[in-house]
Amino acid sequence: MPLLGSLSDKYGRKAILTLPMTLMIIPLGILAYSRTKTFFYVYYVFKIIINMICDGCIPCLALAYVADNVPESGRSTAFGILSGIGSSAFVCGTLAARFLSTAQTFQGKPTISCKSKSNMPLLKALRSLQDLTSFLNSSKIITQAAIVAFFSNLADVGFHGSMM
């Protein structure tokens, strides 16, 4: 990261920002080419090496580019818009990942059954929505903890879902 930051000072933010964005595509191209065991290990090695070089530098370089090109009075708005775009990209990645079938994602048949142990459909085995809402409304602390946990989980799942 410090090396890329130094290079961006010398050669320009946009030019150096293109380098990690291009490098991050290589592992995905390897996995898109073939999903055999050998190609998965090649993907994994490239992903580790490229993440060691590029992980985290794309948002930092993008923020530095915005700071260089936006007047000081509009920077907070520009930073908010850039963060919003990144967050919505993670959410859209999660939604896209959730709507793909397992067969499309892993090129195989799903092995997880949608039935509970008692052979009852999974949704009927869960507690009712009224039970959950009454539990959440029983205490303000529980409600606040649930809200924080929900948004924290949403951010984590969005981040990991977009990477998948």
Please identify every stretch of the chain with a pLDDT value under 50, giving residue numbers as ranges: 110-116, 122-126
* E strand or H helix that includes residue 71: none
Q: At what angle do helices 13-23 and 2-11 cross, to 10 degrees?
A: 140
Q: What is d(CA 157, CA 164) in angstroms, rounded to the nearest whole number?
A: 10
**Helix residue spans in 2-139 (DSSP H):** 2-11, 13-23, 25-33, 37-54, 57-69, 75-99, 102-106, 122-125, 129-136
Output the pLDDT for position 42: 92
Output the pLDDT for position 45: 92
Domain ranges of the chain: 1-69, 75-105+129-163
CA 44 to chain centre: 18
Output the pLDDT for position 8: 85
Output the pLDDT for position 152: 67
Output the pLDDT for position 61: 84
